[in-house]
Amino acid sequence: MKKLKNESELVKKAIEEGVKYGESRGVVEFEATDSQSEKILYIYRLLVHDKVIVPLPEDQVSQKAMRHKLAIWASKSPKKA
């Protein structure tokens, strides 16, 4: 797994977009006290469930791998002006 050039920024973008996605579907309401790792896990599982992203093999699921997968997803989502 090769680290993306601006992966940390893309992870932040993925969390923002993922929170909006989950809340717009009405399946989740994130709290300010939710940790970043909890959000990453929930967003990853939601996107896999909705078949938006391809799941990692279950033995390869880790916080680092999920962050990377969400960063790739964020890099492909349309830019907003």
Distance of CA 73 to the CA centre of its chain: 7
pLDDT value at residue 79: 62
> What is the C-alpha to C-alpha distance for residues 37 and 69, in angstroms, rounded to an integer?
14
Assign 2 a pLDDT band (cuts: 50, 70, 90): confident
pLDDT-derived band at 72 (thresholds 50, 70, 90) equals very high
Which architecture does CATH list for 7-21+34-76? Up-down Bundle (1.20)
Instruction: Locate 79 and state its tokens.
Output: 């830019």
Task: Enter the pTM of the model.
Answer: 0.88
CA-CA distance, 8 to 52, in Å (whole number)? 21
In this prediction, residues 43-47 reach a mean pLDDT of 96
Maximum Cα interatomic distance, the chain, rounded to a whole number of Å: 38
Stretch 37-50: mean pLDDT? 96
Q: Which residues contact 18 (CB under 8 A, 6 or more apart)?
A: 39, 42, 43, 46, 47, 70
